[in-house]
A and B are shown apart, each in its own frame.
Chain A
Amino acid sequence: MSEDRIALQEDPLARARMMLQSAEWAARDLRRLGSEQVDRIVQAVAVAAHSAAGRYAEWAVRETSFGVVEHKRTKNEIASLGIAEHYANADFVSPRVDEERRIVEIPRPAGVVFALTPSTNPISTLYFKVVLTLMTRNAIVLSPHPAARECCVAAARELAQAAEAAGAPRDAVQVVEDPSIPLVEALMADIRTRVILATGGTGVVRAAHRSGNPAIGVGPGNAPVVVDATADAAAAARDLVDSKAFDNSLLCSSESVLIAEEPIAEKLTAALRQSGAHLCTPQERDQLRAFLFPDGHLNTAAVGKGAPWVAREAGLRVAARTRTLLAPIDLVVDEEPLASEKMCPVLGFNTQRDLGAAIRAARGVLRIAGAGHSAAIHTSDPHHAIAFAQAVDVLRVVVNAPNSTGVAGFDTHLAPTMTVGTGFAGRSSLGANLGPEHLVNWSRLAYTKDRSVPFPDYARLRPWERQPQSAGGDWPGRSDRGELSGDHGEVSAALREQIRRLVMEELRDLVEVG
């Protein structure tokens, strides 16, 4: 038998399409769940993910050679239980009733979510997307970046098991084990894919948008950070170095170019040194540039590596405790590779005579890349912050905090996320931090404005608890529905659950036909 199977080579594309098909069935079942069941599944998955956070952090670093285990663990924890807790009081399952506007809204999950995860933040992005997806009663098919394939496949399977054990349908969470570009493109374009969550390089995001299916793909970051003359230099320096050191700058919101206003530059430089930054000489800067961008393109060997490693490889002698390398650049322009995304703890360092010039330089950084993403400012003057925010073409400006973790909502009140919407400027349909609300539509029941027509009490109505009264009498194959409806204490919990599902199914059919 085994010989026969080898002879009949498997078609990976057909197999992957089958995953979407299976996910479609799972999505159908998920849509029938009530909020308590959804909460139970989300909680179970988040706890499982959280407790494995350290293990997968270690695995991801081992497999990809990117980043810092401890920081990846933090990200994984936030992307699992953190997200679940953040949205604990949000309800994407129950109908909403607006008596004033006489509108009832019924949540309508997307269905099958096809999610790409990057090599830089593999597990945290995977956790995040699985939790959001389940929270909104969607099924997910994950396609990990090949460089982080093994840890992602294992993590996805572990979460799938946790979900199933907590009552989710089989195949609510699936993973493509051997992703390839043609395969991913085919799945993105598949009719069963209801929405694509593309996190990764520009190529993959553009491909997602080209697919013809709704896609939430976001552009790259290249965050400028301005430290103006009114800033607390010591605090700014601490934030900057912490931010650059966090997971070795793998978050897309990691500061790319620091622009200091001249009057504070000296003080800031001293404070940065104090915090563990190494200020490169022009010669060291040239060495660093040559190492990081040997032919104008980022040397992937440096991605996610620590500052001492990068310094050593570039031929620089720096203190072992060095946490970030400051590369002075005179001009923020396209041909200066150090003004583009570096994905390691190297920070371009530019000085400008005044705030206006600093803002123009920040705009220059964003012309190179990162439009719509993020920027940061350290200042004690709100006028400066608002002027900066007005001038730079980004959708979030972090003030007096580390940009990397600030943008991701870890230490600001922005929605915690692993996917930062870059909006129109960043060629994305999403301008906010990706959250569960982006994976669900709402069907609206709308009554006439004429108040003489009564608006019934929907407040305590739950679609999965009540049956619609059918004018036609018996529903096909459901002749027993009358006995089972209402509050029958003697009906067993299991049977009751079964009834709920049947009713949900009917309701769904009704709504879908409508």
Chain B
Amino acid sequence: MSTTASTPPGALEQFGFESKDDFLAQSAAVWNPDKVRFWQEVGTDLVLGRREGYLLYDTSGKRLIDLHLNGGTYNLGHRNPELIEALEWAMRLVDIGNHHFPALARTALANALLATCTGNLTKVVYAAGGGEANDIAIKSARYATKRKKIVSIFRAFHGTTGLSVAATDQRFSERFLADRPEEFVNVPFNDVGAMEEALRGDDVAGVIIETIPATYGFPMPDPGYLAAVKRLCERRGAMFIADEVQTGLMRTGEMWAIHGYGVDPDILVTAKGIGGGIYPIACTLLSERTGAWLDEDGWGHVSSGGGSELGCVVALKVLEITQRPAVRAMVHAAGALFREGLKRIQCLNSDWLIGIRQNGLVVGLEFDHPRGAQLVMRRLYENGVWAIFSTLDPSVLQFKPGLLLDPPMCEDILDRLAVSVAASRRDVR
């Protein structure tokens, strides 16, 4: 590892900014004042420059190990050379394509995706991002059941587009008058009784659920919970929509986390990591029943950017890499290493790091303070690690190591975490 690799000087200047301060001021003016202000306030004045593998570099040269990965977008690392090569190859042949016509890459990707599912999924619809893909999932469930109601869990995040935002926590919908409480119902996670109650009226089109709710801080599903929800769906004629945007693509050591819980969903949604952080693409996998509208009206959902052929080529490569036996083995090995190391750190800070939620490389660290994860995040940032708190539960730190980490980097991360957890504990106590 090199200590000095960083963004070449002048990156700011090349975009016409005089300095970092100038750039931040302009960002606040024309882009997103609240975000710019927020990160300044919490002491994370990060302006991303060069990035490579699991390392990010601030424009000032500060190096950070990325444990945020934007919810798995960078599962395979930043600018993974194999993905760059695939995209470069694709760019010499094709562009995003024409959604009206069948496309080689799109059908090939559909075949590859469906081959990862042992269940009843037979069709793939493409989107440009996860929100749109969840919109497709909700529309398909409604189409199949001829019902409108959608059940999701409290504090869920499924996107911020038309329908998915309504299934997301109100924090994202109320401001825009986009919440639809009469059609979108929330129940607590891990509460089978509440789910049963919500489905009792036989008017629910679908239950949409992240296998391990990310934005809520990765609470682990209780044993049998997801299977019970699936059984309830079957009994009440509702579709089970597995939002695998953050938990899929081998993060739990299974291609799709939901399969690890013994559930075959009626709809499965993947986004973020499927584009390898190189070309955004999202996919909704449908069953014969939920995808029957594709037989009736092929223009039922139209997306010029959805299923870009460039993105399909990248996604094919992502699937190929992710399914290598070595990747599964490494995820299990790294998961075990982190399990042991996290336990050790917890032993030394048992009144502060009060919970470790882990399934493979999906990890949430719970701290004994309503905003505990923000404090830890800040200390980690000082110590060269970028990990983010859970938006909808800032006591929990999202700790998301990449799939291709090597053992020295894992140990390095644990060392930094140990120091940061102890320091944040002192900040509070």
Interface positions of A (Cβ within 8 A of B): 295-297, 330-335, 337, 340, 353, 356-357, 360-361, 363-364, 367-368
Taken together as a complex, chains A and B put the C-alpha atoms of A245 and B1 apart, in Å, by: 29
B400 in the interface (beta carbon within 8 A): no
Contact pattern, B 335-352, Cβ under 8 Å of A = 1, otherwise 0? 000000000100010000
Please pick, from B62, B411, B418, the residue contacting A367 in the complex, using a CB distance under 8 A: B411
Please pick, from B4, B344, B348, B383, the residue contacting A333 in the complex, using a CB distance under 8 A: B383
* Nearest CB in chain B to that of A293: its residue: B3
Interface positions of B (Cβ within 8 A of A): 1, 3-4, 62-63, 344, 348, 383-384, 408, 411-412, 414-416, 418-419
Residues of B near A368 (CB, < 8 A) are 1
Residues of A near B418 (CB, < 8 A) are 357, 360
Q: Taking chain A's interface residues, is the majority helix, strand, or loop, or is none over half, making it mixed?
A: loop
* Nearest CB in chain B to that of A330: its residue: B419
Taken together as a complex, chains A and B put the C-alpha atoms of A332 and B414 apart, in Å, by: 12
* Nearest CB in chain A to that of B5: its residue: A296
Taking A296-B4, A331-B415 as given, write out 5 further A-B residue pairs in contact, using a Cβ cutoff of 8 Å, ordered by the A residue number: A334-B63, A335-B62, A337-B3, A364-B411, A368-B1
Inter-subunit contact A361/B1 (CB<8 Å): no
Inter-subunit contact B63/A335 (CB<8 Å): yes
* Nearest CB in chain B to that of A369: its residue: B1
From residue A476, how far is it (CB to closest CB) to chain B in Å? 62
Inter-subunit contact B3/A363 (CB<8 Å): no
From residue A219, how far is it (CB to closest CB) to chain B in Å? 15
Please pick, from A296, A337, A357, A367, the residue contacting B412 in the complex, using a CB distance under 8 A: A367
Given contacts A296-B3, A335-B384, contact A364 B63 (CB under 8 A): no
Taken together as a complex, chains A and B put the C-alpha atoms of A333 and B348 apart, in Å, by: 21
Inter-subunit contact A334/B412 (CB<8 Å): yes
9 interchain residue pairs of minimum CB distance: A296-B4, A367-B408, A334-B1, A296-B3, A364-B415, A335-B63, A334-B3, A335-B384, A331-B419
Taken together as a complex, chains A and B put the C-alpha atoms of A330 and B344 apart, in Å, by: 20
Inter-subunit contact A333/B411 (CB<8 Å): no
Residues of A near B411 (CB, < 8 A) are 360, 363-364, 367
Residues of B near A297 (CB, < 8 A) are 4
**Residue of A295, A340, A360 contacting most chain B CB atoms (<10 Å):** A360
From residue B248, how far is it (CB to closest CB) to chain A in Å? 31
Inter-subunit contact A333/B384 (CB<8 Å): yes
Residues of B near A360 (CB, < 8 A) are 411, 414-415, 418
**Residue of A333, A340, A360, A364 contacting most chain B CB atoms (<10 Å):** A333
* Nearest CB in chain B to that of A340: its residue: B3
From residue A362, how far is it (CB to closest CB) to chain B in Å? 11
Given contacts A334-B63, A337-B3, contact A364 B412 (CB under 8 A): yes
Inter-subunit contact B419/A335 (CB<8 Å): no
From residue B382, how far is it (CB to closest CB) to chain A in Å? 9
Taken together as a complex, chains A and B put the C-alpha atoms of A295 and B9 apart, in Å, by: 13
Taken together as a complex, chains A and B put the C-alpha atoms of A489 and B357 apart, in Å, by: 91
From residue B327, how far is it (CB to closest CB) to chain A in Å? 23
Taken together as a complex, chains A and B put the C-alpha atoms of A355 and B418 apart, in Å, by: 15
**Residue of A295, A334, A361 contacting most chain B CB atoms (<10 Å):** A334
What are 8 sample pairs from A and B whose C-beta atoms fall under 8 A apart?
A: A296-B3, A333-B384, A340-B3, A360-B411, A360-B414, A360-B418, A367-B412, A368-B1
Taken together as a complex, chains A and B put the C-alpha atoms of A353 and B419 apart, in Å, by: 11
**Residue of A332, A335, A340, A353 contacting most chain B CB atoms (<10 Å):** A335
From residue B425, how far is it (CB to closest CB) to chain A in Å? 13
From residue A414, how far is it (CB to closest CB) to chain B in Å? 27
Taken together as a complex, chains A and B put the C-alpha atoms of A364 and B416 apart, in Å, by: 10
Inter-subunit contact B4/A361 (CB<8 Å): no
Residues of A near B4 (CB, < 8 A) are 295-297
Residues of B near A332 (CB, < 8 A) are 415
Residues of A near B1 (CB, < 8 A) are 334, 367-368
From residue A329, how far is it (CB to closest CB) to chain B in Å? 11
Residues of B near A295 (CB, < 8 A) are 4
Residues of A near B415 (CB, < 8 A) are 331-333, 360-361, 364
Given contacts A296-B3, A296-B4, A297-B4, contact A333 B416 (CB under 8 A): yes
Residues of A near B414 (CB, < 8 A) are 360
From residue B69, how far is it (CB to closest CB) to chain A in Å? 20
Inter-subunit contact A335/B3 (CB<8 Å): yes
Inter-subunit contact A331/B416 (CB<8 Å): yes
Residues of B near A333 (CB, < 8 A) are 383-384, 412, 415-416
Taken together as a complex, chains A and B put the C-alpha atoms of A293 and B184 apart, in Å, by: 59
* Nearest CB in chain B to that of A339: its residue: B3
